[in-house]
Amino acid sequence: MKKIQMVDLKSQYEKIREQVNSGIQEVIDTTSFVKGGKVTEFQAELEKYLGVKHVIPTGNGTDALQIALMGLGLKPGDEVITPTFTFIATAEVVALLGLTPVVVDVDMDTFNMSIESVKKAITPKTKAIVPVHLFGQNANMEELLKIAKEHNLYIVEDACQSIGAEYTFSDGRKVKSGCIGNIGCTSFFPSKNLGCYGDGGAIFTNDDDLAAKMRAIANHGMVVRYHHDLIGVNSRLDSIQAAVLLAKLPHLDEYIAARQKAAAYYNKAFASCPKITTPICKDFTTHVFHQYTLKLDASVDRNALQTGLKEKGIPAMIYYPVPLHLQKAYQDPRYKKGDFPVAEKLMDCVLSLPMHTELDEEQLEYITKAVLELI
């Protein structure tokens, strides 16, 4: 049996070695390392895949979020709502821009932001909502769009874990994750479902004016060379990373299907275990399983289980052990322990198992048997 890893990028690379290597070699041969043809080509192909008018490649997913908020012209003190159970980058960019992060609780079933919590968090200072499509399935975007319309708010989707997921509206219309709100952002960090071999990210929008503004912001606020109309940053996807992503993008749906197949195996294996709750997928969204995250019963010693799995050569991770409102850097007199009971329960009971495109049945059988023996 192959060594079990949380993410097996080497085995994935072996299957597309020729396309990746030839793409990288082409960049080297042309020496067009920054803003080269591969970036333009990838941008066009991703626009086509997502069905979105504008893709703006960036240096990483965090930059994408920051540029998106800068593009909206928000002012210091404006409030931005985001879930407390997520990776730190979402609140980080809000704070860096002098905006006020307002955190909300999440749903126990989906890990995504609670609609009721969002409604309660809105004040006259609220200007935007940043839903995080955590672990690979979309938040309840139809309800969030209704709230945004009622209160004249922007929606910036954090789709860093959900690229390729599809949202179905009540009228049957289907839209790709990150292309539903005003702006969507994603990351191409190597472990992502569509990952490069370094850092990378992108912004999506159907708004022509916003696209032009964010494209300028990502390029030092410059439209005409050496004429800076906006305060900007320097954030770009390099050509070598674009070449890698061009090799991978045609396989993205295949990668998603492989993850879904592995998740289905896990679900079936754990279905009769009362101590485990497997991921719940809502009818309005597909799940691309960036992570496969279990909820464990309070009777389970999570640390002992994680240690036991490690001893058997099985990695398992805890995403995320400390919610935003309990992080030292984001301590706020408005929030205290106990204010977000769902997130605080999740931080003590979640455990993510290996999830990637190269998991085979032998590995899955070994992992599931080990979990059931140790639990």
In the predicted model, is pLDDT for residue 332 greater than 90? no
Contact 16, 244 (CB under 8 A): no
Say what the pLDDT of residue 211 is. 98
Residue-wise pLDDT tens digits, 182-197: 999 999 999 999 999 9
Amino acid at 225: R
Is the four-CA dihedral 44, 48, 50, 54 of positive or negative sign? positive
d(CA 163, CA 222): 29
Q: Is the peptide bond before 265 cis (omega within 30 degrees of 0)?
A: no
Residue-wise pLDDT tens digits, 236-267: 999 999 999 999 999 999 999 999 999 999 99
Taking alpha carbons only, the member of 193, 333, 173, 304 closest to residue 249 is 193
Residue % of the chain over a pLDDT of 70: 100
Going from the C-alpha of 61 to that of each of 3, 89, 93, 105, 131, the distances in angstroms are 29, 9, 11, 23, 15
In the predicted model, is pLDDT for residue 35 greater than 90? no
Burial (CB < 10 A; 0-12, 13-18, 19+), residue 338, is exposed
Contact 101, 78 (CB under 8 A): no
* Among 38-52, 59-73, 183-197, 220-234, the least confident range: 220-234
Confidence of residue 223 (pLDDT cuts 50, 70, 90): confident
Say what the pLDDT of residue 36 is. 84
The pTM (predicted TM-score) of the whole model is 0.95
Token pair recorded at residue 284? 């309005």
Taking alpha carbons only, the member of 302, 267, 271 closest to residue 281 is 267
Say what the pLDDT of residue 343 is. 98
Contact 144, 167 (CB under 8 A): no
Confidence of residue 224 (pLDDT cuts 50, 70, 90): confident
d(CA 89, CA 181): 19
In the predicted model, is pLDDT for residue 331 greater than 90? no
